A and B are shown apart, each in its own frame.
Chain A
Amino acid sequence: MSPASHELKRAFETAAGLGVLIVAALGPLIFSTYWISFILTQVFLLGVAAASLIFLSAYGGMVSLTQVALYGIAGFVLGNVVTTGNSKGLNLGWDPWLGVLLGIAIATAVAFVFGALASRSAGIYFLMITLTYAVIANLFFGQVTTFSGFGGISGIRTPRFIGEVDSHPNRLYYVSLVVAVVVYAAIRYLVRTPFGITLQGVRDDPVRMSSLGYNVPLHRMIAFGFAGFIASLAGVLFVWWNGHIDPASIDLSATIDLLVIAVIGGLYRLEGAWLGAFVFVLINNYIRSVPGLGHLGISEERFHTVIGLIFLIIVLLSPGGLMGILGRASEFVERLLAGRRVATAATSPRSTGSGPD
């Protein structure tokens, strides 16, 4: 790739990113209330959660299935702290901001503990260990009626400046948008710091990094804790948006849904988090309107069959997800612009596995 075309590509990406941001900032002028309050807010918060997963996978080589559980922990803590009058839970009725602070702090602390325990594993072992964390967290909140029980926690208030989400959807929309942008910028910044560079070294060759004197488990643990912090932000947004959280919000199906979002978007590009969330929420909402599906026996209740098939197709055909497809398309265009002959798949996408061992 010539430097000029590289410049062009970056300029194009920046322009596309700014365009999306401007559209999002003007959202309430463009989209209907349903889109603002339901679809886009959900996209932003799911994107934040997916970004924590993609951060770990793209820069740390760790595919974590615990992010939904961590977001649930933040949500449950917040719910327990701020509500009153639920049949289960602590019903402390404290200030909403204190709830946010405690929720994020506790979820991040749990993430550090989880990260420390899993930090000597990588790859497929990491996936399995984090899946057990997720299921255990779900069972914990299902069984322990002190904090939740099956019914969950309802009536979770937002801080006053957001107000009632139903009557002021734009406020939560902007809060989610700002959190999403800040999270995106923070991750982009972090991966350029010495810590981020070291983390990528750990991803690529833990043995060599270890020989160079870097503490590999410590880097993994810190990365996991940071990702837990981001996931807990998504958890706070989720309970503000939903007003309710129960164990089903963090069950295996929800855990897998977040993985699906990250994989559809692309496990190796941060932008994929929000792209994947957008596609996922759209499919979830508009599957009933797709003509012809009803004749195939696929109704909206069979959403997970559809999403499973899409997931399967993406994993089989494009391990880089939609961002991978976009990347390849832009390379194709570049080569056309450069006037060169288009070679077939000159640069193959990065393989999702650790390669033959």
Chain B
Amino acid sequence: MSAVETAPEVRKQIALARLARYTPWALSGAAVVFAVLWIGFLAPACGANGCVGTQTNFGSAVHDPQDFLATLLDGVTAAGVYFVVASGFTLIFGLMRVVNMAHGAFFLLGGYITLKLQRAFVGEDSAFGLLSSQVHFWQWLVPSLIAAVCIAILGLGTQQIFLRWNQGQELRQALITIAIAIILADQMVAHFGAFAEDIAWPGILDRRVNVHVAGVHYTLTRLIILAVAVGIGVALWLWLKKTPTGMVIRAGVDDRQMVSALGVNIQLTFAIAFAVGSALAGFGGALGGSFASLGPGVDGNWLLYALVVVIIGGMGSLAGAAVGALLLGLVSNFSSAYLPGNYTFYSIIFTFVLLAIVLAFRPLGLFGRPA
């Protein structure tokens, strides 16, 4: 066949390929634009007698700026906890290629350690848990720090005993951490019971503050969570960018063997990274246990959040974890607030849609790089 004959065929194929390439972009773009318009201007509010059809609980942002702002703050503060938990996960994964499936169990155990220590410190233990008014600031902070240290030691032990000699066997390491997660989860049910409990906030923080925008009064503890998360993020960033250990970790993320060949004790770096990553899970448990609650199954949910955040953001990237946490927090909160009032329980689908959109365009996540 001559070139003249094939040219229209080829042109047609190129056009088809273009169409296939741009259709997902167009579709996702349209979906995002519609979501913004819906939340901003279109969403109708429910009437006094309940919600009908597509009416939403709050109505559009223009109609009800207070609830819009509250939802925004809910999303951003939830993202704070997601970030703390996921940053530990991504730190471990980025350096060692270990998917720590026990991260959720570490989170839950950290939460329980905080809970039990707090009750021991306060000394009063009623069946319904403690009230914030009974708890001083240090009675929240000290237990959560001790929990972080305990989980760091647990993580370090796990890494040294089970994972160190399986380096490079990624699937096997993941299976080992799954086994540890099963055992930990079952033992936690045995020791801490099957009821949901929560850690009490310190009394001085447990109030609402005026944020001076649209007259919204917002929970102070959630704002503090956000501040803590930002603080942890900045500290991690400085640690990775400015200290010698951080430099070795960043080099190790790029090329472990080369770093090792240059005479750096990479095993020590691995141990430090695993301890820090686990400590973040433990501290995340203290935050998450005060923010939501602790109980059987909670470990799985928080493992899901960590996984979604790092899959969206790109595994091993701190900035990716921040962006991923923000997207997850915003999407989950806005979808449950701005879906039609009778259908808010469908909001879980939007977590999946978010994941699907990111995976369709960037299989390695927004900030992910090939290993």
Contact = CB atoms under 8 A, between A and B. Distances in A.
B345 interface: yes
Interface of A: 63, 117-118, 120-121, 123-125, 127-129, 131-133, 135-136, 139-140, 143-145, 251-253, 256, 259-260, 263, 301-305, 307-309, 311-312, 315-316, 319, 351-357
Interface in B144-177: 162, 166-176
A354 B179 CA distance: 20
B97 interface: yes
B312 to A, nearest CB: 10
Given A136-B351, A309-B183, A352 B167 contact: no
B180 interface: yes
Interface of B: 97, 99, 101, 162, 166-176, 178-183, 185-187, 190, 297, 300-301, 303-304, 307-308, 310-311, 315, 345-349, 351-352, 355-356, 359-360, 363-364, 371
Contacts of A260: 182
Contacts of B178: 256, 259, 311
Nearest to B315: A125
Contact of A118 (B185, B301, B315, B359): B359
A315 B182 contact: no
A352 B172 contact: yes
Given A136-B349, A145-B345, 17 more contacts: A121-B359, A121-B363, A125-B315, A125-B364, A127-B99, A127-B171, A129-B359, A131-B303, A135-B300, A136-B351, A140-B349, A302-B186, A305-B183, A315-B176, A316-B162, A319-B172, A354-B168
Nearest to B363: A120
The 9 closest A-B pairs by CB, nearest first: A353-B169, A308-B182, A252-B300, A312-B179, A356-B168, A308-B183, A304-B186, A120-B363, A135-B304
Contacts of A303: 186
Contacts, number: 140
A302 B188 CA distance: 11
8 contacts: A121-B363, A125-B315, A253-B185, A304-B185, A308-B179, A311-B175, A315-B172, A354-B169
Given A353-B172, A355-B168, A251 B300 contact: yes
Contacts of B162: 312, 316
B369 to A, nearest CB: 13
Contact of B183 (A312, A316, A319): A312
B355 A132 contact: yes
Contacts of A355: 168-169
Given A302-B190, A308-B183, A312-B183, A352 B171 contact: yes
B141 to A, nearest CB: 31
Interface centre among A118, A259, A304 (most CB of B within 10 A): A304
